[in-house]
Amino acid sequence: MNLLHAPSMSSRFENPFLPHVRRHVTIDRTGRERVRLSTPAEWKSFSCNSGNEFPRRGKLDKASRRVYAPIASVARTEGTASIQETDILQVKGVTYRPPGSDATLLDNVSFSLPEKSLGLLYGPSGSGKTTLLQVLGGLATPTNGTIYIGNNSTDSTKNPHGPGSLSARVGIVFQFPERFFLTDTIVEELIFGWSRQTQDPVLRQTQTLKLQSAVYAVGLSGLPLDMNPRNLSDGYKRRLALAVQLVRMPEIMLLDEPLAGLDWRARADVVKLLSALKKEKTIIVVSHDLRELSPIVDRAWQMEMGGVLTQQPWTSTVTK
Ligand SMILES: Nc1ncnc2c1ncn2[C@@H]1O[C@H](COP(=O)(O)OP(=O)(O)OP(=O)(O)O)[C@@H](O)[C@H]1O
């Protein structure tokens, strides 16, 4: 192996998803990055590869920055796949007609969204907003067009993702998600669908860490995990519904009317939570609550009847 490994770095992970986790980064001369995560001793030692995203400079401590800066610049100039600081969702010319129907629910929809930002999708009832979320989440296959979860807009090597791969990379929280809780405890709700058979300790520890991270990220860590989710307040039910998706570690979160049916206090709470989440996730929200969401919206689109999407300058949107 002719790769010269740079010194390993360690920096505390300053994000709400992985509290108390130390991150050890090694980057070879080709710019390929290996990330090892380790938890404090009381959680037992564990490590895994966690993709190839560059750590952002601001997240590294001073010593790590000194080591990291020259390595990062080598990686960037060599143009490797590790240069993924600006992951983008790109939707190009997507049309959707349900199988066996002539109705066009989405008509040549195109848009993109930068990583770690929040896009707002609004429009009249029946215009096709939920349909678009279903297509983005891989629950329906576009009749035409392509959806990319790409690296950047000029990267010609990125591949379109079929519905199967989309559903693995996208988490959808439908309207009134608490109506679909299936189990009698918070923890069962979170791990629903996980294999109970696995004896692989690394996989088990990875799953445990994901669970802890999701619970912490939505502010449920103070609650007993054996609590019945139906006994949670409305706002906390929404938090749990978000955690159910976050635990799958999706790259993009799609939320259909996350404020619907909540009182003012819970609504403000959810807006605050989304504001924190978008520091780590790319989020698309379908909502009619433009004013409440406006402070955290980075990009906005209006869906018109017939599934026609137009991007809106956000400043003019909020004054409507
Ligand atoms: N399988 C289907 N076949 C035909 N039409 C459908 C199908 N599914 C949904 N529709 C229609 O597509 C249109 C768009 O529905 P969709 O639920 O996406 O709208 P929406 O903008 O999310 O509405 P709302 O704000 O009320 O949730 C509606 O007129 C709906 O009746």
Q: pLDDT tens-digit profile of 106-146?
A: 999 999 898 889 999 999 999 999 999 999 998 999 999 98
Distances (CA, A) of 207 to 96, 144, 187, 316: 36, 37, 12, 44
Cα(296) to ligand 1 centroid in Å equals 27
Distances (CA, A) of 228 to 57, 146, 245, 261, 296: 41, 41, 18, 20, 31
Q: Examine the pLDDT at 37 and tell me if it is beyond 60.
A: no
**Ligand 1 pocket check for 125: Cβ under 6 Å:** yes
Cα(109) to ligand 1 centroid in Å equals 15
The whole-number pLDDT of residue 251 equals 87
d(CA 262, CA 4): 55
How many residues does this entry show for the chain? Answer: 320
Q: Examine the pLDDT at 230 and tell me if it is beyond 60.
A: yes
The correct answer on CATH 3.40.50.300 for the domain covering 89-151+161-312 is yes
What contacts 260, CB < 8 A, 6 or more positions away? Answer: 175, 176, 287
**Ligand 1 pocket check for 126: Cβ under 6 Å:** yes
Cα(125) to ligand 1 centroid in Å equals 8
Please state the atom number of ligand 1 nearest to the C-alpha of residue 105: 12
Q: ipTM surpassing 0.90, yes or no? A: yes
Cα(122) to ligand 1 centroid in Å equals 14
The whole-number pLDDT of residue 195 equals 65
Tell me which of 203 and 57 has the higher pLDDT: 203
DSSP 137: T
Q: Examine the pLDDT at 279 and tell me if it is beyond 60.
A: yes
What DSSP element (H or E) covers 243?
helix 234-246
The whole-number pLDDT of residue 160 equals 53
Instruction: Tell me how far apart the 2 most distant CA atoms of the chain are, in Å.
Output: 61
**Ligand 1 pocket check for 101: Cβ under 6 Å:** yes
What contacts 211, CB < 8 A, 6 or more positions away? Answer: 187, 190, 191, 247
DSSP 127: S
